[in-house]
Chain A
Amino acid sequence: MTQPFLSIRKLRKAFGAFTAVHDVTLDIPKGEFLTFLGPSGSGKSTTLYAIAGFQDPSSGDVLLEGKSLLAVPSHKRNIGMVFQRYTLFPHLSVAENVAFPLRVRRRPDAEVKKKVADMLALVRLESFAERLPGALSGGQQQRVALARALAYDPPILLMDEPLSALDKKLREEIQAEIRRIHRETGVTILYVTHDQEEALHLSDRIALFKDGRIEQTGTGEDLYLRPATDFVAGFIGNSNFLAAEHLETVGGAATIRLADGSLVSGISANGSFERGQKTRLMIRPEAFRLERNPASAELTVDVVDIAFYGERRRIVARTTTGQEIDIRPTSAAMAAHDATPNRRQVFFDPGAAFLFPV
Chain B
Amino acid sequence: MRMPAGLGGLLPALTLIGLFFVVPVLALLLRSVTDPAPGLQNYAALLGDGTYMRVFFNTFLVAAVVTIVTVLVAFPVAWMLAIMPPALASVMFGIIILSMWTNLLTRTYAWMVLLQRTGVINRALMAIGVIDQPLPLINNLTGVTIGMVYIMLPFMILPLVGTLRAIDPMTLRAAALCGASPFQAFRRILLPLSLPGIAAGGLMVFVMSLGYFVTPALLGGTSNMMLAEMIAQLIQSLLNWGLGSAAAFILLIVTMALYALQLRLVGARRATGGI
Contact = CB atoms under 8 A, between A and B. Distances in A.
A288 interface: no
Interface in A268-323: none
A89 B189 contact: yes
A226 B175 CA distance: 41
Contacts of B171: 87-90
Interface residues of A, number: 29
A350 interface: no
Nearest to B172: A87
A77 B177 contact: yes
B179 A81 contact: no
B179 A78 contact: yes
Contacts of A74: 173, 176-177
Contact of A100 (B168, B175, B181): B175
Interface string B79-119: 00000000000000000000000000000000000000000
Contacts of A85: 168, 170
Contacts of A54: 173
A80 B181 contact: no
A119 to B, nearest CB: 13
Interface in A34-87: 52-54, 73-81, 83, 85, 87
A265 to B, nearest CB: 55
A90 B176 CA distance: 16
Contacts of B174: 81, 83, 87, 89, 145, 148
A1 interface: no
Interface-central residue, B171, B177, B182, B192, by most chain A CB under 10 Å: B177
Contact of A104 (B170, B173, B178, B192): B178
B180 interface: yes
Given A100-B188, A104-B184, A104-B188, A87 B173 contact: yes
A101 interface: yes
A334 B184 CA distance: 64
A87 to B, nearest CB: 4
A76 B179 CA distance: 6
Contacts of B184: 75, 104
A169 interface: no
A83 B171 CA distance: 9
A75 B177 contact: yes
Nearest to A81: B177
B173 A148 contact: no
Contacts of B192: 91
B181 A75 contact: yes
A114 interface: no
A168 interface: no
B196 to A, nearest CB: 10
B188 to A, nearest CB: 7
B71 to A, nearest CB: 19
18 contacts: A54-B173, A74-B173, A75-B179, A75-B180, A75-B184, A78-B179, A79-B177, A83-B173, A85-B168, A87-B168, A89-B193, A90-B171, A100-B180, A104-B179, A104-B180, A148-B174, A149-B178, A158-B177
Interface of A: 52-54, 73-81, 83, 85, 87-91, 100-101, 103-105, 145, 148-149, 152, 158
Given A53-B177, A91-B193, A158-B177, 20 more contacts: A73-B176, A75-B178, A75-B180, A75-B182, A75-B184, A76-B179, A77-B177, A81-B174, A87-B168, A87-B171, A87-B174, A89-B174, A90-B171, A100-B178, A100-B180, A101-B180, A104-B178, A104-B188, A149-B177, A152-B178
